[in-house]
Amino acid sequence: MASTPTLHACDRVDLAWIDTAPHRFTNSVDLAITPAQLFDVLADATAWPRWAKAITDVTWTTPEPRGVGTRRTVTMRGGLVGAEEFIAWEEHTLLAFRFDQASEKRIKAFGERYDVVATADGCRLTWTLALEVTGAARFTLAPSKPLLDAAFRWFLKNLRTYTDERFGAPAGAP
């Protein structure tokens, strides 16, 4: 039986911090689904590991309805666990959360923002991942940024594939 990791407090950042964090990754993807369908995917705990391959489990820890203040626990490959709190929830347009706690002490602050805009063919998702690290991670993160950014773009490509399969890609979709 696996033991539960010790979680350490992270800075309780806000939505504005995500736009100014020391380390940020922003990528976009066009999806052939409506913003409402995308929110269904983002609210589905079982969907996250299907497209964000670093995630192995998502557990909502507060009951529905979901909104600002909703909490969940996310487990990732390598044993990283994050206790998250949603700091923005504007149905069909914006989601954002932060880590309140993480199993990795070097994560000082962490947040993600999901901006959704309706398009003629579905919607466009812009995903921003922001973090601040301490210790030796401050020196190893910078050289890793191109690889991390490529991984995040790959996650969004996986999201497009997943949503096309889940909702059926329209004829002639790219």
Assign 90 a pLDDT band (cuts: 50, 70, 90).
very high
pLDDT greater than 60 at residue 105: yes
Q: How far is CA 162 from CA 21, 42, 43, 112, in A?
A: 30, 12, 14, 20
Write down the pTM of the prediction: 0.93
* % of residues, the chain, pLDDT over 90: 86
Distance between CA atoms of 84 and 97, rounded to whole angstroms? 6
- State residue 172 phi and psi, 5-degree precision: 80, 10
The whole-number pLDDT of residue 2 equals: 59
pLDDT bucket at 138, cuts 50 / 70 / 90: confident
Determine the average pLDDT of the residues in 40-52.
97
CA distance 51 to 20: 26
> In whole numbers, what is the pLDDT of the chain averaged over residues?
94
3-state secondary structure of 63: coil
User: Going by C-beta distance under 8 Å and a sequence separation of 6 or more, which residues neighbour residue 131?
Assistant: 21, 22, 23, 107, 108, 109, 110, 111
What's the confidence (pLDDT) of residue 143? 82
Tell me the two tokens of residue 35: 């913003």
Q: How does residue 173 score in pLDDT terms, banded at 50, 70 and 90?
A: low
List the domains of the chain with CATH numbers.
8-166 (3.30.530.20)
pLDDT confidence of residue 151: 96
> Alpha carbon of 93 to those of 36, 39, 88: distances in Å?
9, 9, 10
